[in-house]
């Protein structure tokens, strides 16, 4: 057991060390953040709201590093649908499902290495990625294309490749969401998912990618706010000693995974935790359960909140809910990670000239193209089309600001392309037949390209598409989510994600520019 200094300053600095806050939409570091880094806080999380350009991001991280040279700067740059570096224009790299559909681990490793180098150049030291979840429930509203797929072994080999690629660039990987967020139709940003599976299934499916990532040396693992009664009937994974200590930390000989790296919590303010336990107690319970670094993520922090969370952790120690030894162990693990990232940055190989060739090549290889079921050969479009984007409610992890679709890329190839955004609210207002009629009226005699995401999860989308195809069988359909529904249309293009490069790859096919490959 670690021997602790008796002074209260050690306790205060340890409580600050485990907190990894974010801050409001400013592109320079606020004074309070720099002050708390001097006081003992070890790291910060950045989101798209803090990024306008690579140069600005590098300046921001340099500000942080001037105060604390080994500062942990984390970001969830999954690529694909979840990007912070390129939130304003869309990612230069396809996401996990696209890479999984290609199933070339060397390609995945190369993509992750390129992402890692971009992060390292910007001063990011921890990437909250990749998602190691096995997307076994097609109705999953929060994972979907963020998963490499439904097969545990496939997910495992690509999780390993992604971890290796990232860490080769000196950026710590953080595989998520332990012990697996794939078998649920509830979004933990909004509520507490309950996953009723037995331990045999858990070990044979959900845990397979995490075991592989641990064996590959992933520096971090992120917990999930999910309830698995077979492990703990009362508390979600992030707050459960049975999940974090009894399963993730416990030696393999005792039935655990034997993990010795840093455990990050998922964003502690997500409703699955905050609505039941509150932020202060949620932080303390997470550390007591085995978490080392508490992500205070999607909701921007300020100094008052950070100090309130710090004091909540200290109070939990004084009241006996959290041992001082466990808190110190967590703080020391985080500090050790900071030391590793500083060393890894210094040892990372020199960068190569940057372009999107790797990402675009991966997006092209991920396309699955299905011609019309009536056997009619598809003739590439030669006239500017109308692009009807059927837009579902945004995935909270991805956000609403990142553009998606094929309209911009088609306009580049077929100038004069126009587009319309059509939502569930439109279907409720006009009915699916009425919405289809509105699309037909907007298109006139132009070709129509219908762009959808997860058609199988949205009945309004599927029914509107059916009505549209009944009137215009020549409609081209582009599925940019999980392609679980049967292909339809004069041409069906499944991109396995909505990154910018996925849109470009689909547009090349639609406009007959496949020679660009």
Q: Which two tokens stand for residue 238?
A: 């992030």
CATH 3.20.20.300: which residues of the chain?
12-346
pLDDT for the residue 388: 97
Contact between residue 229 and residue 262 where contact means Cβ atoms under 8 Å apart = no
What are 470's two structure tokens? 């009944």
Which of 133, 187, 266, 292 is the catalytic position?
266
Select which of 158, 177, 181, 189 is catalytic.
189
* Contact predicate 308/280, CB 8 Å: yes
pTM: 0.94
- Gyration radius (Cα) of the chain, Å: 23
Per-residue model confidence (pLDDT) at position 188: 65
Examine the residue annotation and report whether 424 is marked as an active-site residue of this protein.
no
Tell me the per-residue pLDDT of 1-32, one tens digit each, with 9 for 90 and over. 343 444 468 999 999 999 999 998 788 999 99
Q: With a cut of 50, which residues of the chain have pLDDT below it?
A: 1-7, 515-517
Phi and psi angles of residue 22, each rounded to the nearest 5 degrees, phi first: -110, 180
Strands 262-264 and 294-301 turn out to be unpaired
Provide the pLDDT for residue 119.
96
Q: How far is CA 439 from CA 33, 194, 403, 442, 451, in A?
A: 49, 39, 21, 5, 12
| Active-site residue, 14 included | no
Residue 208 neighbours by CB distance under 10 Å = 21
Give span(s): CATH 3.40.50, the chain. Answer: 367-516
CA angle 197, 202, 208 (to 5 degrees): 155
User: Can you identify the CATH homologous superfamily of domain 12-346?
Assistant: Glycoside hydrolase, family 3, N-terminal domain (3.20.20.300)
Type and span of the H or E element at 423: strand 418-423
Say whether domain 367-516 belongs to CATH 3.10.290: no
Phi and psi angles of residue 319, each rounded to the nearest 5 degrees, phi first: -90, 0
Tokens of 361: 């090549």
């Amino acid at each position: 057991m670690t021997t602790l200094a008796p002074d209260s300053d050690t306790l205060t600095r340890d409580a600050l060390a485990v907190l990894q806050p974010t801050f409001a939409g400013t592109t320079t570091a606020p004074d309070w953040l720099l002050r708390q880094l001097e006081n003992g806080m070890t790291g910060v999380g950045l989101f798209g709201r803090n990024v306008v350009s690579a140069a600005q991001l590098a300046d921001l991280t340099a500000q942080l590093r001037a105060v604390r040279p080994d500062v942990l700067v984390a970001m969830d740059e999954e690529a694909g649908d979840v990007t912070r570096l390129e939130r304003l224009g869309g990612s230069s790299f396809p996401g996990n499902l696209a890479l999984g559909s290609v199933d070339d681990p060397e390609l995945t490793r190369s993509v992750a290495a390129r992402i890692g180098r971009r992060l390292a150049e910007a001063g990011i030291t921890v990437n909250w990625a990749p998602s190691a979840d096995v997307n076994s429930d097609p109705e999953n509203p929060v994972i979907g294309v963020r998963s490499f797929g439904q097969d545990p072994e496939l997910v495992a080999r690509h999780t390993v490749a992604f971890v290796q690629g990232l860490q080769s660039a000196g950026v710590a990987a953080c595989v998520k969401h332990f012990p697996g967020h794939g078998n649920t139709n509830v979004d933990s940003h909004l509520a507490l998912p309950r996953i009723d599976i037995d331990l045999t299934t858990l070990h044979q499916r959900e845990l397979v990618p995490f075991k592989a990532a641990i064996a590959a040396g992933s520096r971090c693992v992120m917990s999930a706010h999910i309830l698995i009664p077979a492990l703990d009937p009362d508390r979600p994974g992030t707050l459960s000693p049975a999940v974090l200590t009894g399963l993730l930390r416990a030696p393999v000989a005792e039935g655990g995974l034997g993990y010795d790296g840093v455990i990050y919590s998922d964003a502690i303010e997500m409703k699955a935790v905050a609505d039941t336990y509150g932020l202060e107690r949620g932080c303390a319970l997470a550390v007591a359960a085995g978490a080392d670094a508490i992500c205070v993520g999607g909701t921007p922090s300020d100094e008052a909140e950070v100090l309130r969370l710090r004091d909540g952790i200290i109070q939990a120690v004084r009241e006996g809910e959290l041992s001082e030894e466990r808190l110190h162990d967590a703080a020391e693990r985080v500090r050790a990670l900071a030391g590793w990232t500083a060393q890894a940055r210094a040892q990372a190989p020199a960068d190569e000239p940057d372009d999107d060739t790797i990402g675009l090549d991966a997006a092209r290889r991920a396309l699955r193209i299905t011609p019309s079921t009536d056997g009619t050969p598809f003739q590439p479009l030669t006239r500017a089309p109308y692009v009807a984007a059927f837009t579902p409610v945004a995935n909270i992890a991805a956000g609403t600001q990142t553009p998606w679709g094929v309209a911009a890329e088609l306009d580049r190839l077929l100038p004069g392309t126009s587009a319309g955004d059509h939502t569930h609210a439109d279907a409720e207002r006009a009915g699916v037949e009425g919405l289809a009629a509105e699309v037909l009226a907007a298109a006139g005699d132009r070709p129509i390209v219908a762009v959808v995401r997860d058609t199988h999860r949205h009945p309004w989308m599927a029914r509107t598409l059916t009505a549209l195809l009944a009137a215009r069988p020549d409609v081209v359909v582009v599925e940019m989510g999980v392609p679980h529904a049967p292909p339809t249309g004069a041409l069906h293009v499944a991109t396995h994600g909505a990154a910018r490069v996925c849109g470009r790859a689909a547009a090349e096919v639609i406009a007959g520019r496949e020679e660009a490959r």
